[in-house]
Amino acid sequence: MKWLTSELVAVLPANASSTDAVALRFAQEVDRICRMSRRIQATGEVEQWQRSLARHRINKCLHYFTAGSRRGRVELHSTLSAIAYRYVAPRHAHMGFEGRYTLLEDFLQGFYIEVLKAFRRENAVAADYTPRTRLELAEYMTFTEQYAKRRITIPGAINQQIIVLRAQTFARRQPAETCVDMDLAMESPKTEETESHARSAAMKQVREQMITEAVDPTDRVLRDRVIQELVHYLEDQDQQDCVDYFTLRLQDLPASEIDEILGLTARERDYLQQRFKYHVEKFAQVHNWELVHQWLGIDLEHNLGLSSQQWDDFLGTLAPLQKDLLVLKRDRLTTGEEPLDSAQLSELLGCTPKRVQRTWGQILNQAWKYRNQLNR
């Protein structure tokens, strides 16, 4: 414990609290692991293993401490999500990313509660213990990651991580898929049998969903056109690898499968994602912003997706040139006149056409950020 305390004090800020308590819990955990592990006991190098395990926990704890509450939780959530993603849905369930994401969020909320109970139990703290200091929160996130990755051997089964076993149990508890005749759901029942079938909860739910959330054909056409135009744009920019990546993303394939198909390393995938994001933003905010904004329902006709009050507040954040350009475009729209091109706008604003295009891209970018801020 003294060694652990000195290691923490040497790195942490002078005002960091709870150092002794955290060091004690780390020491007790490492000692328990080394005593219970036959493999470690058989090596005859127990002290070396103690220091190695303790060092690993210190480094992980300091990583979360440096990241802070917000970024640390995001990293932890991302790590656990990547492990559990493929296991939270029932087998043979035809479920896309959105469906799996919803199940994953539900599963992890319950898993975090389980981990907190395990932390209280294994560290002999109060029954209502909750991390309160930054170091205690980093310790708890370290424990959560270690607990999730613990391996358990079940008789007659393979050695598996705890979080995977919990995710598989969660998936088995999900209700089975129900087969529903979509034509019968919208037809009036003609026999007693079909009438009884029509009164079932599943049929009622399907009918309500079909009536209240019917797909707008116009929206589907616009979406397909956006996809087609984006592919053309990427091809014109000689970004065929981005086209391949985009095509696979549209099929809801997991990142591991995309990497395997395209033959990418993790680093190459990160670089490709950044390049793809850059071109998508350029396409959506400069190259074909009218089409994208129309599809999303955030075009100029709808005040870039802002309410009247939000629109007035947004105008107050713009520079004079940006506001003048936006007013010119908006006025032409409200009067029903033909929109002005870059040359006409540059003449009215007293700047070059290139600056007009750059300024308009800045306005759209600021509007995206403003909407995201409101959503948060």
* 33 and 76 share one domain: yes
The rounded distance, in Å, linking the Cα atoms of 89 and 84 is 10
**How many Å separate Cα 168 from the centre of its chain?**
21
**pLDDT tens per residue across span 12-51:** 888 778 888 888 888 888 888 888 888 888 888 888 888 8
Residues 139 and 238 placed together within one structural domain of the fold:
no
12 falls within a domain: yes
Q: Examine residue 199 and state whether it is found in any structural domain, yes or no.
A: no
139 in the same domain as 251: no
More confident residue, 294 or 362: 362
Are 79 and 101 found together in one domain?
A: yes
Based on the structure, what is the number of domains in the chain?
Answer: 3
HEC assignment per residue over 92-109: CCCCCHHHHHHHHHHHHH
The C-alpha angle 90, 96, 101, rounded to 5 degrees, equals 75
Per residue, the 3-state secondary structure of 187-218, as one string, reads CCCCCHHHHHHHCCHHHHHHHHHHHHCCCCHH
Q: Are both 45 and 139 inside the same structural domain? A: yes
- Does residue 371 sit within a domain? yes
Distances (CA, A) of 51 to 4, 44, 142, 156, 197: 9, 14, 17, 34, 66
Domain assignment present for residue 196? The answer is no
Residue 157 lies inside a defined structural domain of this protein: yes
Distances (CA, A) of 112 to 65, 146, 301, 313, 332: 19, 13, 45, 40, 54
Residue with tokens 């000689």: 238
Q: What is the C-alpha separation between 293 and 261, in angstroms, rounded?
A: 32
Distance between CA atoms of residues 213 and 202, nearest Å = 16
The CA distance from 72 to 137, in Å, is: 9
Q: Are residues 157 and 237 in the same domain?
A: no
Q: Which amino acid is at 339?
A: P
| The last residue of a domain, from among 261, 296, 331 | 296
Distance (Å, whole) CA 365 – CA 318: 12
On whether residue 62 sits in a domain, the answer given is yes
Q: Which residues does 42 contact at the CB level (< 8 Å), separation at least 6?
A: none
Query: What share of the chain in percent tops pLDDT 70?
Result: 82
The gap from C-alpha 50 to its chain's centroid, in whole angstroms, comes to 36
Residues 23, 128, single domain; the answer is: yes
Same domain for 163 and 57: yes
pLDDT value at position 154?
Answer: 64
Q: How many CB atoms lie within 10 A of CB 187?
A: 11
Nearest C-alpha neighbor of 274 from the set 238, 245, 247: 245
Buried b (16+ CB within 10 A) or exposed e, 322-334: bebbbebebebee
- In 98-189 the beta strands, taken as DSSP E runs, fall at 151-153, 159-161
Q: Mean pLDDT score of the chain, rounded to an integer? A: 80
315 found inside a domain = yes
Looking at the structure, do residues 122 and 141 belong to the same domain, yes or no? yes
Q: What is the pLDDT of residue 227?
A: 85
Domain boundary among 296, 318, 350: 296
Compute the C-alpha angle 272/278/280, nearest 5°: 100
* 6/75 same-domain check: yes
Q: Which of 172, 205, 226 finishes a domain?
A: 172
Span 240-267, mean pLDDT?
A: 81
Identify whether 261 is part of a domain.
yes
Q: 109-168 pLDDT, tens per residue? A: 999 999 999 999 988 888 889 998 999 999 999 999 999 998 887 665 567 889 998 998
Given pLDDT bands bounded at 50, 70 and 90, which one contains residue 358?
Answer: confident
Residues 281 and 308 in one domain: no
Residue 224 shares a structural domain with residue 81: no
Domain of 329 in residue numbering reads as: 298-376
Neighbours of 360 (CB within 10 A): 19
pLDDT for residue 120: 92
List the CATH number of the domain containing 373.
Answer: 1.10.10
Q: In this structure, are residues 243 and 275 in contact, taking their beta carbons and an 8 Å threshold?
A: no
